[in-house]
Structure 1
Amino acid sequence: MSTPTRARKAFTLADARREFWTYPSPWMIGATLAAAVVARIAVGDWQPTDAVVPAAMVALFPFFEWLVHVFILHWRPKTLGPLTVDPLLAREHRAHHRDPRAVALIFIPWKALLWVLPLAVAVALLAFPRLGMGLTFLVSIATFGLAYEWTHYLIHTDYKPKTRVYRAIWRNHRQHHFKNEHYWFTVTSSGTADRVLGTYPDPAKVENSPTAKNLHAEAVPGATG
């Protein structure tokens, strides 16, 4: 007599949180956020213009995501004489498309954060008229970065959407991976930038791409994916 198969335990948010914090990227961004919050409180100098920074970033971050995804993550390797220009972020993102369920490939590569995070700090210190305002920017960008990592990670887990907003975000990104890599480029929103920039088609009218898991490969004529 065969042994009954035990039902697979549902993947919960608690499971997701435990796994999320075992990878370096959340810790690196989280440490930057914590330091930025401490520095911002210490500096003080709170002014009404500080509120402009996070408000502007809420409006602009979906478009920033879109631009990074299209022009950096989907960068096509280019040959310049004996050199091949193929950045780490693009290489890792191609690997992520090949295996969307490989957890280590979901996160921003920690080696890239070694220059991305100092760059964000430099912008905060040099590009604003007041130190306090710059630190507000740093708190905001680190918060958005951590939210991006969490959302992107969660989409690629077995956690099932339970709210309408998250379901829309989840559906859009999974369509980018499993239907057609030329559309649905935003990750933390339900497609605001995609709608504005023309990459939010009716899924029913979009053909499955044969290269969704093999970016920049030549599609085989007649292949349907």
Structure 2
Amino acid sequence: MKPFTLFGKTFDLSVGRTHRAHHANPADLSDITINKEVFPTVVPLLFVLAYWLFPTVELATGALAAFFVLSLHYEFCHFIGHTAWCPPINYYRRRQRMHRLHHYRDETLWWGVSTGLGDLLLGTAPDIKSVEKSPTVHNVHGLLR
């Protein structure tokens, strides 16, 4: 998320700043997890929505459990994309490779961290040989100084 102007005032949200910093130095493992500032707002909202939208407590609880398991899966895939460890399972090696291409080849491609389905549907996982290295791969939005 790049800064935006509203009523003459520019806003640069923390989520955007930390994501740009993450792209500036992808080898830094200190802040690669889901932004901690999200949890106090999003988690209670998820609980309220789940128990409001689903017709039974069991379905709401199951949906929340699935969401949190998938969130952990995302975090794991994102972590291995930033480490030198080579996963023994091909699925995770592929996720690792795609995420590295996103950080070191072109920030506008290979968005899928934990699954490649979105990239397949959106056409954002082309053959690597057809993609030149992006000049802004470490300076997304050209905003880092």
Q: TM-score, normalised by structure 2?
A: 0.91
Structure 2: stretches of 5+ with no match in the other structure: none
Counterpart for residue 188 of structure 1:
114
Q: Distance in 2 between matches of 1:171 and 1:156?
A: 10
1:152 shift after superposition: 0.7
1:131 shift after superposition: 1.6
Matched, 1:77 2:6: no
Counterpart for residue 210 of structure 1:
135
Is the contact made by 1:95 and 1:105 (CA closer than 8 Å) also made in structure 2? no
Matched, 1:89 2:15: yes
Matched, 1:124 2:50: yes
SS state at 1:79 partner: strand
1:178 shift after superposition: 0.1
1:77 shift after superposition: 1.5
Q: Name the amino acid aligned to 1:204.
A: K
Counterpart for residue 138 of structure 1:
64
Structure 1: stretches of 5+ with no match in the other structure: 1-74, 219-225
Q: Distance in 2 between matches of 1:103 and 1:116?
A: 23
Counterpart for residue 124 of structure 2:
199
Q: Which of 1 and 2 has greater Rg? A: 1
1:125 shift after superposition: 1.3
Q: Name the amino acid aligned to 1:208.
A: K
Q: Distance in 2 between matches of 1:154 and 1:113?
A: 22
CA RMSD of aligned residues (A): 1.5
Q: Name the amino acid aligned to 1:160.
A: C
Residues 172-187 of structure 1: matches in 2 within 5 Å? 172-187=98-113
Q: Name the amino acid aligned to 2:126.
A: P
Q: Distance in 2 between matches of 1:83 and 1:138?
A: 37
Is the contact made by 1:88 and 1:112 (CA closer than 8 Å) also made in structure 2? no
Name the structure, 1 or 2, with higher relative contact order (CA <8 Å, separation 6+): 1
Runs of at least 4 residues off by over 3 Å: none
Q: Distance in 2 between matches of 1:109 and 1:84?
A: 21
Q: TM-score, normalised by structure 1?
A: 0.60
Q: Name the amino acid aligned to 1:179.
A: R
